[in-house]
Structure 1
């Protein structure tokens, strides 16, 4: 086998091995997966059909255009609830704020993504070892190692394991015939060495519940606009499931 043929064979082997990580990611994460988790369960007492009225208030404090109100309203209506405009006429208040909508760091969030530099170094090492087994020429060994490293970098650059998340705070208020005492406590920083505690107590006929919902979307090379519809679908399904 001449030198050119040997070198071509080495490059093919390097390409195959160096691209394994990227190929595995592309194949295993080719389908969009969405998971939604609620931090706390909210238990509501069963009510009659006449009391199935909800005042809906939705906010979005992220930097992205996300509208969950219409889809949430449709899901509640399908469950037999009427969404009303007057909070005084509603048996329930449902308040939600989309707090965060952003690309997550796969390494810290799920631990699925290997370092790009790690893949490049592995490619370089494999290239050098493969060349050494076929030729003793130091220039060929160095060139093969560099090409293997470049292949690892390119592969990891083209294939990215992406996670997007929606984090939403949810509050449910339920009217009751009983008197309910609520105490709200706030802590404000007072410089670097102190804090100011403020508490407000009130008595009314409303029970209040709070929870947080996390929806994760994962796919290779995922864009937020692709993830948004399924994230909103899962999020609104989870919130409407409270009722």
Structure 2
């Protein structure tokens, strides 16, 4: 009887604890938190009015092809006095954007991907589920308490979810130069599992290039994609246009 009473008491306490934890998340994450970060700062040379001619190219290689920032970026740049063109021969600047990942993700993994910088290999950013385990076989009241905690936490988790959405984007800005600049580089191309092929090159170009990676995120309790998407577009487009 004493063990049964102790088990019931422990189960009730753990259930209350799970409920309090869910309440704490609901309170601390009740307001939408939108942030945009860059892996490196980019400074481009000021342009004379006659040279403020810009080509904008946005690509989306994520699994959400409907997510786009091109219109928002172009509207912001046009409001700053930039003339937009589709002709690369006419452009004095080129803005190339590749959206790598969009959607629900894990904050730690998303920020780690930001830290790797432009062009780094994409990594999984989806959040992992939690696993709950019961106690030892010879402590039935502890097992019961663990099951109660798992059930209470499951119920609370269905009602209160800490949701994090992110958009990870690579950005390259090219600025036309009067004199040619030298470019040198190398690549290592894998040849199946048997080896690799190393390539090196040296050439001249009339473009200086600047590269960075941008992470835009939205976090709120029970946040939906419909709520997060316009905020991600706004944060990402503002950050990209702000480089000019």
TM-score after normalising by structure 1 = 0.77
- Provide the residue aligned with 2:78 in structure 1: 77
**Which is helix-richer, 1 or 2?**
1
- Residue 44 of structure 1: CA displacement? 1.0
Bigger radius of gyration = 1
- Provide the residue aligned with 1:241 in structure 2: 242
Distance 1:115 1:87 in 2: 47
- Provide the residue aligned with 2:123 in structure 1: none
Identify if the C-alpha distance between structure 1 residues 22 and 83 changes in structure 2 by more than 3 Å, giving closer, same or farther. Answer: same
| DSSP-derived class of the 1:87 partner | coil
Aligned residues of 1:107 and 1:114 also touching (Cα < 8 A): no
- Residue 84 of structure 1: CA displacement? 1.2
- Residue 209 of structure 1: CA displacement? 1.4
Q: Residue deviations 1:55-101, cap 9 Å, x none?
A: 11111111111111000001111111111121111110111010111
- Provide the residue aligned with 1:125 in structure 2: none
Identify if the C-alpha distance between structure 1 residues 52 and 241 changes in structure 2 by more than 3 Å, giving closer, same or farther. Answer: same
| DSSP-derived class of the 2:243 partner | coil
Identify if the C-alpha distance between structure 1 residues 196 and 145 changes in structure 2 by more than 3 Å, giving closer, same or farther. Answer: closer
- Provide the residue aligned with 1:38 in structure 2: 38
Structure 1, unaligned stretches of length 5 or more? 1-8, 123-127, 130-140
Q: Residue deviations 1:32-52, cap 9 Å, x none?
A: 111111112221111211111
| DSSP-derived class of the 2:40 partner | coil
Identify if the C-alpha distance between structure 1 residues 107 and 155 changes in structure 2 by more than 3 Å, giving closer, same or farther. Answer: farther
Aligned residues of 1:116 and 1:153 also touching (Cα < 8 A): no
- Provide the residue aligned with 1:26 in structure 2: 26
| DSSP-derived class of the 2:153 partner | helix
- Provide the residue aligned with 2:104 in structure 1: 103
- Provide the residue aligned with 1:135 in structure 2: none
Identify if the C-alpha distance between structure 1 residues 154 and 45 changes in structure 2 by more than 3 Å, giving closer, same or farther. Answer: same
Aligned residues of 2:183 and 2:204 also touching (Cα < 8 A): yes
Distance 2:186 2:146 in 1: 62
Aligned residues: 216
> For the aligned residues, what is the CA RMSD?
2.9
- Residue 148 of structure 1: CA displacement? 5.0
- Residue 22 of structure 1: CA displacement? 0.7
- Residue 114 of structure 1: CA displacement? 11
Distance 1:148 1:70 in 2: 49
Map 1:1-150 → 2, pairs under 5 A: 16-64=16-64, 65-106=66-107, 116-117=130-131, 147=148, 149-150=150-151
Aligned residues of 1:94 and 1:172 also touching (Cα < 8 A): yes
| DSSP-derived class of the 1:24 partner | helix
